[in-house]
Structure 1
Amino acid sequence: MNNTVEPELVSAVVYGCIMVLGLPLNAVSLWILLRRHSLRSPNVVFMVNLAISDLLLAIFLPMRVYFYATGTWPLGSSVCILTTVIHQKNISCSSIFITFICVDRLLAVVYPLRSRHLRTSSNAWKAVAFVWLCLVLVNIPRSVSLSRALKNCTVAVCFEYHHCSTPFKSGLVYFYVALVFTMLAVNVVCTTLVSWTLHSHLSDSAKVRNKVNVMLIFFMNLVMFTVCFIPLSVGLLTIKGTAIRPWAYLATMNCCLDPLMYYFSLDNFWKKKEDVDLETREE
């Protein structure tokens, strides 16, 4: 009996802690980004969408906490599917938007003049709109599969599809794993190029602090992938049942770590919008 209860309580506690941290952190971060920063900066556009993705995840975590704490799901299959899809697709959103931020910083540091026509808010909004549209389209067949899996369950259950009589498998898992590793490769390449560029211009001591902040952005991105995204990706291919939960905890923690990236990415994170707009025009 204890062997079945303990993992559920651990899940409830872990997701509860992530919710307590992630919800206010992302709500405040989104408020600061929208109120104090100009959406004319592509970097801010990507960060706003990343914060929205993380905030959606945190908002739906209480339902997951309730399920693991009580062992019941009274909200029906539709809410279960919505909660599951938002939780799973947050990883895809985060990895893509983090990579967008990484590429934007690469262009700003390595190709500042040649990339001016690319690094516009218009292009940034087009990119994030394309990402959201693709995720919605991909989730349509995913939601249908989840619905069928729930119908095959002999008990009222949500999130734990290994209880279903028909095993739930999807080719989208392989696509997700390939996406994460591709995004990781892009981040590694960007980090290497930016590190080499900054190292070759370290003679300007007045800008050493800014260079350190830039490298902290890339360091945070790589930490996010290696700690949060990669373990879950490998686990999805090699682990079955409840054994995947520790890696799911790590992946969910990304919503608590992302606000640190906003702070390092924007040296003027706490400044008023008027001052930020001036600096954006000068960039």
Structure 2
Amino acid sequence: MAGNSSNSCISEELVYSARFQASAVVYGLVLAVGLPLNTLSLWILLRSHGLRSPCAVLMVNLAASDLLLALSLPLRVYFYATLQWPFGVATCTTAIMLFRVNIRTSCIFITLISVDRFVALVFPLRSRSLRTSACAIKCCVAVWILVTILSIPEIRNLHSALKECTYIPCFEFQVLAKGSKTIAVAQATFLLTLLVINVVSTVVVIVVLRKRPSDGAAKVNNKMNVILIFAINLLVFILFFLPFTLQLLTIKNDDSGDVIRALICLASVNCCLDPLIYYFSLDSFWQDNGKRQTDVGTYSLSRSMERS
């Protein structure tokens, strides 16, 4: 390990400061809001909508991703409140990786939701064979498998480096191994590509909606709902994912890591907003749809405008 990586193992315990206190407060608030909200959202989605539409499938997976992050937050709150870590190396590695996996999967699922709505609106008839629950389930399974496989080297590297620490600083720990810069650039490039896809989808949808006539309040309502979801998709990317992504490109061996840790705090807030954005903005969220499509905001709008 010595020749391949440098890490932030320290021989003495951390000294409590305002930054640690602020971290404990932020993670505590995110936990207090995100855990019940995502649990409730996941329960409602599974109970009322199941996996009967591609949009419902994607939302269930987004909620599950956010719930995994929320479940790891009590450990972060404890660490930053006490600056002690009695839970061992494996637990620390798991908690750190849950955050990283959440960032990656959330970005992907948010983008897939945008693409699903984009295709449903712009190509409502041609996309019917593609926009199925089975196809959405396969995509989600592929996402989880791919992200897990790509995370294995990272997990092994992190676990090995942590084992060398006498005092485990856990969430204050960072390891910069050989090739880590390449991984950071690859991850940043991937997330920026997803952002571009969201931007393009949003612009095209707005152009399409402006060109199609709107007769009646229902159609105007549907238009606004669709545009709102696309706009907030971009907002989530720009506020929570973009700063963290760009910071990955500037990390150096002698970096104290204070900035990236602050951005990790900021990025964790996305698990609180996802349920509000993607679930409560749907008119049908609280209703049992039966055989109807869950994503009526897009589906009904596209059908009605095809008739116009």
With normalisation by structure 2, the TM-score equals 0.85
User: Equivalent residue for 2:183?
Assistant: 172
Shift of 1:245: 2.1
User: Equivalent residue for 1:160?
Assistant: 172
Shift of 1:151: 2.6
1:255–1:23 distance in 2 versus 1, CA, 3 Å:
same
Within 2, Cα distance between the matches of 1:230 and 1:185?
11
User: Equivalent residue for 1:87?
Assistant: 99
Aligned residue for 1:153, secondary structure, equals: coil
Within 1, Cα distance between the matches of 2:86 and 2:167?
12
After superposition, the CA RMSD in angstroms is 2.0
Shift of 1:3: 7.6
Within 1, Cα distance between the matches of 2:213 and 2:250?
44
| Per-residue CA distance 1:200-252 (angstroms, 9 max, x = gap) | 11333340100100001101100000000000011122253122222111111
Shift of 1:280: 5.4
Equivalent residues of 1:216, 1:264 under 8 A apart = no
**Which is further off, 142-151 or 221-230?**
142-151
User: Equivalent residue for 1:217?
Assistant: 229
The residue identity in structure 1 corresponding to 2:21 is L
Within 2, Cα distance between the matches of 1:91 and 1:157?
22
User: Equivalent residue for 1:194?
Assistant: 205
User: Equivalent residue for 1:245?
Assistant: 261
| Per-residue CA distance 1:51-72 (angstroms, 9 max, x = gap) | 0000010011001111111111
Gaps of at least 5 residues in structure 2 are 1-12, 300-308
Within 2, Cα distance between the matches of 1:280 and 1:244?
38
Shift of 1:270: 0.7
Shift of 1:4: 4.5
Identify which of 8, 22, 33 aligns with 2:34.
22
1:2–1:71 distance in 2 versus 1, CA, 3 Å:
closer
1:281–1:110 distance in 2 versus 1, CA, 3 Å:
closer
Equivalent residues of 2:282, 2:295 under 8 A apart = no
Equivalent residues of 2:16, 2:83 under 8 A apart = no
Aligned residue for 1:112, secondary structure, equals: coil
Within 1, Cα distance between the matches of 2:294 and 2:102?
29
Gaps of at least 5 residues in structure 1 are none
Within 2, Cα distance between the matches of 1:211 and 1:86?
36
User: Equivalent residue for 1:231?
Assistant: 243
Q: Is residue 41 of structure 1 aligned with residue 41 of structure 2?
A: no
User: Equivalent residue for 1:204?
Assistant: 215
Within 2, Cα distance between the matches of 1:20 and 1:168?
35
With normalisation by structure 1, the TM-score equals 0.92
User: Equivalent residue for 1:143?
Assistant: 155
User: Equivalent residue for 2:285?
Assistant: 269
Within 2, Cα distance between the matches of 1:66 and 1:202?
55
Equivalent residues of 1:22, 1:256 under 8 A apart = yes
Within 2, Cα distance between the matches of 1:281 and 1:153?
50
* Same amino acid, percent of matched pairs: 49
The residue identity in structure 1 corresponding to 2:192 is F
Equivalent residues of 1:232, 1:247 under 8 A apart = yes
Aligned residue for 1:113, secondary structure, equals: coil
Larger RCO, structure (CA 8 Å, separation 6 or more): 2
Within 1, Cα distance between the matches of 2:227 and 2:60?
21
Please state which structure has a larger fraction of its residues in helix: 1
Within 1, Cα distance between the matches of 2:185 and 2:223?
37
User: Equivalent residue for 1:65?
Assistant: 77
The residue identity in structure 2 corresponding to 1:114 is R
Shift of 1:147: 1.3
Within 2, Cα distance between the matches of 1:125 and 1:134?
14
Equivalent residues of 2:66, 2:102 under 8 A apart = yes
Aligned residue for 1:238, secondary structure, equals: coil
User: Equivalent residue for 1:254?
Assistant: 270
Within 2, Cα distance between the matches of 1:273 and 1:209?
19
User: Equivalent residue for 2:195?
Assistant: 184
